[in-house]
Amino acid sequence: MSEDHGALTVLRPNPEDWDHFLRSQARAHLLQLAAWGALKSQFGWDAQIVALADGSGIVAGASVLLKNLPLGLGKMAYLPRGPYATDAGHYPLLWEAIRSQTGAAFLKVEAGHFQDQPTPDFSAMGFAPSPQSIQPNNTIQIDISADDEIILKRMNQGTRRKIRKSLKADVNYIRGSREDLADFNRLIQLTGERNDFGVHSLEYYERVFELFIPEHGALLLAKRDNNSLGAIMIFALGSTAWYFYGASSRENSNLYASYGLQWRAIQWAKARGCLCYDMWGIPDHDHETLEAQFKMRSDGLWGVYGFKRGWGGRISRASGTWDLAFNPLVYAAYRTALKLSD
């Protein structure tokens, strides 16, 4: 499907063409791969790829997730860690294309981390800061472009010591297969209950494995005497690797298997040519607040900050969550419903 939009054409590219364009972008993100839309479309969302093209191919676009709003009020369009444009002037045309192609009442954008690149001025394009985020805005990113000794020196002493103990311990670190997902799921369900955070179902992790592990990821496990002490799923696209899912057992905690797993993950990412290892999600506060409170709090993402802070990375905040109302009445009802649910 396509429509003329001045000098550009609006189209819904096939997954292969979209992924080819995505891989050419400096900020290429796993959550914008066509496979991520395929995953989420099996767990409560719909997915569409909307793009703008000229005579030479795609010049802007996004993989958009869609969810029905309550009471038949229409749909929310959600754009995780995108969009992409070869020219900033394409963005307004892209918003209009998303509106016309999806019929959504409003668009939620979480564009992600721009680092040294210019961040789009969402406010100037009619967006408002959103009262509801979906992905974590704050993360810790580790520069893994240096050699191992430099990476280790950037860590705090406690993390460095635990990594070295984990690698000397009687623990086997292995690449997991699909048959190991039941073990992974058992560990992550226990970890979620212990730390009071939400986790997905076994069916979800099975689909993640099928869609991403062969080309873009790895399941790593730490085992001792055939007992799994920990497991993580890691992913990579372009120059960045991400740690999305992880779990650990309290058994043999003195072996520090979680530290050994993360170090193996960094080695895996380096072998793929990645320059950055993203630990994916810490509390959305500035550095001073994080350091002042992490020993006193364990709720939400605070429980993992104490672990992630020691790895020598830098705190990086994304561009935030922004909403663009296509239907102002429906969007006002959405904001009111959020306030009432607090």
**CA–CA gap between residue 79 and residue 107 (Å, rounded):** 8
Please tell me the predicted confidence (pLDDT) of residue 19: 98
pLDDT tens column, 224-246: 998 999 999 999 999 999 999 99
| Digit-coded pLDDT (tens) for 266-308 | 999 999 999 999 999 999 999 999 999 999 998 878 888 999 9
Please report, in angstroms and rounded to a whole number, the separation of the first and last CA atoms in the chain: 41
Q: What is the mean pLDDT of the chain?
A: 94
- For the chain, the domains span 2-135+320-341, 138-317
State how far the alpha carbon of 216 is from the alpha carbons of 208, 209, 237, 297, 311, in Å: 10, 10, 7, 34, 23
pTM > 0.85: yes or no: yes
* Residue 91 in this model has a pLDDT that exceeds 50: yes
- CB-count burial class (<10 Å; 0-12, 13-18, 19+) for 66: buried
| Residue 267, C-beta contacts closer than 8 angstroms, at least 6 positions apart | none
Does the structure show a pLDDT above 60 at 3? Answer: no
Q: What is d(CA 333, CA 342) in angstroms, rounded to the nearest whole number?
A: 15
pLDDT at residue 1 is higher than 50: no
In tens, the pLDDT along 99-133 reads: 999 999 999 999 999 877 888 999 999 999 999 99
3.40.1800.10, 3.40.50.300, 3.40.630.30, 2.40.30.10: CATH of 2-135+320-341: 3.40.630.30
Burial class (CB in 10 A: 0-12, 13-18, 19+), 335: middle
Q: Is the pLDDT of residue 342 over 90?
A: no
Looking at 30-34, 178-182, 195-199, which range is the least confident one?
195-199
Side chain identity, residue 17: D
CA angle at residue 99 from 40 to 110, to 5 degrees? 50
Residue type, 319: S
Span 80-106, average pLDDT = 97
Angle between helices 257-271 and 157-168 (to 10 degrees): 90
**CATH number for the segment(s) 138-317:** 3.40.630.30
pLDDT digits (tens, 9 = 90+) for 311-320: 999 999 999 9
